[in-house]
Chains A and B, each alone.
Chain A
Amino acid sequence: MSVFAGSHLTCIRGERAVFAALDFAVDAGGALVLVGPNGSGKSSLLRLMAGLLRPAAGLLTWNGDTLDDEPDVHRGRLHYVGHLDAVKPVLTVLENVAFWAGLRGQRDADGAARQALDAFGVGRLADVPARFLSAGQKRRVTLARIAAAPAPLWLLDEPTTALDAAAVGLLRDAIARHRAGGGLVVVSTHAELGLDDAATLSLDDFAAGGAR
């Protein structure tokens, strides 16, 4: 049985049905890549998986248990990377990452944050205020945030935005390490990430009414 699955999901945004009767399933160590044109509902599906949105119909399950039963528990096992970086300009890079790690109960938040920053090649910026970072560096810091505290499910919405080729490689490595430890990844992307044996879900197949 799949660890994380959804069945017959329907999402309605502002009276418009974005997608309907969508099914997906991800196994332990598995990866699911969401593809589809702009507006096909990749972000909406990820927000739905995170619990930020409620499905208009359908069911999300984790190991067979519905998510609605224990939303707190589900939030504890997921990392979400959205379009925004959530990096505070007046805090240093390390403070930014360590805050989120500490909020997720990471004991040695500073140490874990330093390690994660190193993994994304921004370790030497640890004590720099975040307002001096470029867009790509901010993105690396955001990705370091999810690496700094363990969580089985990664939901990544266009994680490669503003990243250079080297950083995309680092992200690929981080995802591979995460999956090797039994972690799950759902990622929406326009760029080719090159994940090993990843399933692909085309949102276009579930466009409500077929009209686009």
Chain B
Amino acid sequence: MSWLAHLLRRDLRLALRQGMDSLMVVAFFVIAVVLFPFGVGPGVNTLARIAAGVIWVAALLASMLALERLFQADYEDGSLELLALAPVPLELITLAKVAAHWLTTGLPLIAAAPLLALVLFLPTEGLWMLVAALALGTPTLSLVGAVGAALVLGSRRGGVLLSLLVLPLYIPVLIFGVGAVNQVMLGESAQPHLMILGGFLLGALALCPWASAAALRQALE
């Protein structure tokens, strides 16, 4: 399994040296959320009610931003070909790349979320549930997104196509992610929602690496 760490280290190193991608994702996330108090007015009750939904939708869109680059750079410079020829299953290589993608884009989003929740006057109990739901939901987004990113590889205007492909698949995560926060705010247990989010994650973990690898092989033909 040492090569898994090896691959992860390389992708993290690339992301850190280039730096801009993660920073842009978080900056987009913050700006998109901060627009809402200007748009709907500074009323505390209104903002608190829509906070979870706004933050989740902004997180979905932000995580889409870096998705296009997930395989594109490796595809263009020939690295992807060599990765596909490595004596390691392409499925696991995909998984390592998705993990690196989540660590460099998903994790910063989760870190920024509490601050934005405060901006939107989300009560404390909702805030922690939001962080928990994002922690369970964003890896699913990265996994599902990787399938889309692999499918649009080599096509012109892949970015737009990618959002059309992937955003509809994000809807279940959005529903249950926002649902978990709303449940807590109503004083109910959010456990069922979290368990469903966990189920999505396990399902995506089992299916998406295979689908992505198949799409990558197709792109390399």
Residues of A participating in the B interface, judged by any CB pair closer than 8 Å = 50-54, 72-73, 75-76, 78, 80, 82-88, 90-91, 95, 99-100, 102-105
Contact = CB atoms under 8 A, between A and B. Distances in A.
A53 B221 CA distance: 6
Determine chain A's interface SS by DSSP, over half rule: loop
Contacts of B77: 84-88
22 contacts: A51-B85, A52-B81, A52-B85, A52-B220, A52-B221, A72-B89, A75-B85, A75-B87, A80-B81, A80-B82, A80-B85, A86-B77, A86-B82, A87-B77, A88-B79, A90-B18, A91-B13, A91-B17, A95-B10, A95-B13, A103-B83, A103-B86
A83 B76 CA distance: 11
Interface residues of B, number: 23
B14 interface: yes
Nearest to A107: B2
B87 A105 contact: yes
Contact of B78 (A82, A91, A105): A82
A155 B10 CA distance: 25
A82 B86 contact: no
A150 to B, nearest CB: 12
Interface of B: 3, 6-7, 10, 13-14, 17-18, 76-79, 81-89, 220-221
Contacts of B89: 72
A78 B221 CA distance: 18
Nearest to A51: B85
Given A51-B85, A75-B87, A91-B14, A103 B6 contact: yes
Contact of A104 (B13, B18, B81, B87): B87
